[in-house]
Structure 1
Amino acid sequence: MRTPTSVAGEHLTDSVANARADARAQGDRTSEHMPYVPASTSPHGPPGVDPSLLTWAETVAPGGYTHRLVARGTRLRFDDPTGEACAHLVVLNAREPGERLNVADTGKIPWQAYLGAGHPLLSGDGRVLATIVADTSGRHDAFCGTSTDAWVLERYGDARPEGPSPSGRALLLKAAARHGLDGRDLPPSVSFFQGVRVDPDGGLAWQGSAGPGASIELLAELPLVVLVANVPHPLDRRPAYTVGPLRVHAWRARPTGPGDERFGATPELRRAYLNTIDYAEAAGL
């Protein structure tokens, strides 16, 4: 591990001119885990998507987090390149953040608690915040939420957000703060790439991942604040804090409409999409 002294020794900042030159020298440095700006420069762009259409591209570090405000109709893709990512996701209506992900309704309205392609992410106001439109993983969870400081401290001995084993809750709080939100605004999250199933006796069984290379894509049905923490699943009983990098890309598409098969898949879904469209049109979105 590098000491503060050795890190300081790598930089020459003894004058304004040297400090400026040193700062500018960092401009072209890259990292394995970083946002790509502009997004079109991502080395991991989704297949079949014109790089010039990308509006967000980032590789989230293990134990890291990210956040973004995205427009209605944005398509978001999450990739798990190593089979060890676990993306804990919260979405909120960007115009009115009091409207946010409701995990109970997300399971109730489609009559299905297991997340997969075609599954809507519902708010408590009966509107669809986002729809899962593609999924090659099938290993997700809408039961457990994310890890807490108390759980991580007991499990790994260190829950500091800047430490080696941050909790998902702490990282989501940091992401929320970037949008003027706090703990009262954070509902239970869903998580992608680490599956959970209900046993016959009612217990919850962790399934792990589907392996390297899985992806899931969401479609933003309203303008969203997207918060993501990439940390181990709470039911992951491996002794080490095990999580891999998470890739995120987004590009402009169009929200779900009456011509889409999923729009009228059930009477409940049709009503939820109609509620969403009615809200969006009234707001001029």
Structure 2
Amino acid sequence: MSTQTTGDARTDGTATTAGARAHARAQEAAGANSGAAMATLPASAWPSPPAGVGADRLVWAETVHGGGYTHLVVARGTSVRLTDLAGDACAHLLAYNADEPWERLNVADTVKIQWQAYLTAGCLLLSDQGRALATITEDSSGRHDSLFGTTTQTYNAARYGDGAAHCATPAGRELFTLAAAKHGLGRRDLPPSVSFFQGVTVDDDGAPRFLGSAGPGASVTIRAELPLVLLIANTAHPLDPRPEYSCGPIEFLAWRDSPTTPDDPQWTATPEARRAYANTAAYLTPKGIR
């Protein structure tokens, strides 16, 4: 059987089935340089598990390159650690209740209810139902942003010349759209996100000040308090003043752990935390989940 093309002849070698197959297989080898996420399965084969975490507890391990995205469903009690490998990553994060995904991260409530715009260890990620979706348990970076969200295609096109999902300078919202589609979610399901590893502060006059990265090796660990769908877009921060699109790789690890319980000091650290954890428990208890 012959393959015919219309218009200009194909010059990329994919005009035949054999050529298309060779081209497709070559994409795997090029993945490390194309922004693709690279997972290690089984996760226990990852060469550097977190300190104190046995390799047999790892359930996911991958590298997400700059301009890439990933998505994962995790069980309640799972710990997830993101590490900025080269000191230039920006991990934009969205979280959804995996059982009822209309419940999702609410950045405004996360900031307002906890009286804290600068997220770090001990802070919670709250849902639009007032429940604790996740707890930030460790943070060696201290440079995050809960105010300015991620980039859009229009913004990146004006700034870098393009912002489509598969270009060299993809926007965070376009990457989130791809990740969300894997879970039956669309653009209307994308709320404002939080971002890790590129710091922003607000001066007394209300003007934002970009702080940049904490440097290579900075990490943040969150613990899932509900079964979660996690979406991560690794793309340049919208306030990054550099004229070139800059974003380094992220190490993304997840392992079996335990959710926060009433005997954990974190539960009663603040009245706001206690209420959020209690709301989560009230939601789970009738389902027979502890």
TM norm. shorter chain > 0.5: yes
Instruction: Name the structure 2 match of 1:164.
Output: 168
**TM-score, normalised on structure 1?**
0.90
Instruction: Name the structure 1 match of 2:4.
Output: none
Are 1:109 and 1:269, in contact at CA under 8 Å, matched by a contact in 2? no
Partner-residue secondary structure (3-state), 1:34: strand
- Structure 1: gaps spanning 5 or more residues: none
Q: Deviations over 1:230-260 (max 9, x none)?
A: 0000000101110000110001111111111
Q: Does 1:252 align with 2:250?
A: no
1:13 aligned residue (18, 22, 26): 18
Q: Which amino acid aligns with 1:276?
A: T
Q: Which amino acid aligns with 1:85?
A: A
1:281 aligned residue (251, 275, 285): 285
| Aligned length, in residue pairs | 276
| Alpha-carbon shift at residue 205 of structure 1 (Å) | 0.8
RMSD (CA atoms)? 2.4
1:265 aligned residue (262, 269, 279): 269
Are 1:122 and 1:130, in contact at CA under 8 Å, matched by a contact in 2? yes
Q: Deviations over 1:8-46 (max 9, x none)?
A: 69x9938xxxx7xx89x98x9796451111111223422
| Alpha-carbon shift at residue 277 of structure 1 (Å) | 1.2
Hey, what's the Cα distance between the residues in 1 that align with 2:128 and 2:29? 44
Q: Does 1:72 align with 2:85?
A: no
Are 1:87 and 1:230, in contact at CA under 8 Å, matched by a contact in 2? yes
Hey, what's the Cα distance between the residues in 2 that align with 1:63 and 1:37? 22
**Pairwise mapping of residues 21-100 of structure 1 onto structure 2 (< 5 A)?**
32=32, 34-100=38-104
Please identify, of 28-37 and 222-231, the stretch whose mean Cα deviation from structure 2 is larger: 28-37
Q: Which amino acid aligns with 1:253?
A: D
1:230 aligned residue (227, 234, 242): 234
Q: Deviations over 1:45-70 (max 9, x none)?
A: 22322111111111001100000111
- Structure 2: gaps spanning 5 or more residues: 1-9
1:114 aligned residue (111, 118, 127): 118
| Alpha-carbon shift at residue 7 of structure 1 (Å) | 6.5
Instruction: Name the structure 2 match of 1:204.
Output: 208
**TM-score, normalised on structure 2?**
0.89
